[in-house]
Structure 1
Amino acid sequence: MIKVEVAYALPNEQKIIALQVAEGSSAYEAVVQSRIAEIFPQIDIENDPMGIFAKAIADPKSYILKAGQRVEIYRPLIADPKEIRARRAAKAKAKAEREASS
């Protein structure tokens, strides 16, 4: 048995579940065993992206965990970060132009 963690975070709440899994267990199997989807029913363990310490893993069902690793379940992005930065920059530019013309 090896010790791993499964983590999920919302903007206002997070949960990290420590558990023991059999050696050779996959990231997906650890998520199932953690029962975290019972705490956060919005988790879709079949489709939500997962990673290990902020590095995405392509196939959680075949990624074999090592002792001490943390499986993270990622939420879908609500907005594209590049688009948000572009909007923020455009707003700052417009404000600067208004202040310069006053």
Structure 2
Amino acid sequence: MKVEVVLAWPRRFKAVLLDLPEGATVADALARSGLSLPDGIVAYAIHGLRCDTAQLLHDGDRIELLRPLVADPKDARRWRAADRKARP
């Protein structure tokens, strides 16, 4: 089965496509990815849904390595809206 492991930063990302045997877990994919995992990883997700490292994988899954939020999303939207109103 083919899965993808994705590590993203604000303006760049690194993705690794893996061919794993049936019954592989998130932990197996992370070990085989070859990515140097930074200390800031706080959780994992498959297609945007949070999971743990024991989660079984399916063909086509995309494992996302999640970092802590820099700002509350609601606050960020308010800042962008205020910035748009301030422009002429």
TM category (shorter chain) comes to: 0.7 to 0.9
What is the CA–CA distance in structure 2 between the aligned matches of 1:89 and 1:10, rounded to whole Å? Answer: 23
Query: Counterpart of 2:19?
Result: 20
Cα distance change, pair 48–29 in 1 and its aligned pair in 2 (3 A): farther
Q: Give the secondary structure class of the aligned counterpart of 2:45.
A: strand
Q: 1:52 & 1:36 partners in 2: Cα distance?
A: 17
**TM-score normalized with structure 1 length:** 0.68
> Taking structure 2 as the reference length, what is the TM-score of the superposition?
0.77
Alignment of 1:55-94 (within 5 A): 55-57=49-51, 59=52, 61-88=53-80
| % identical equivalent positions | 35
Task: State the one-letter code of the partner of 1:25.
Answer: A
Structure 2: 5+ residue stretches without partners: none
Which has more radius of gyration? 1
**Secondary structure at 1:12's aligned position in 2?**
coil
* Unmatched segments (≥5 aa) in structure 1: 96-102
**Deviation of the 1:89 alpha carbon:** 5.3
- 2:83 & 2:33 partners in 1: Cα distance? 44
Structure that is richer in helix per residue: 1
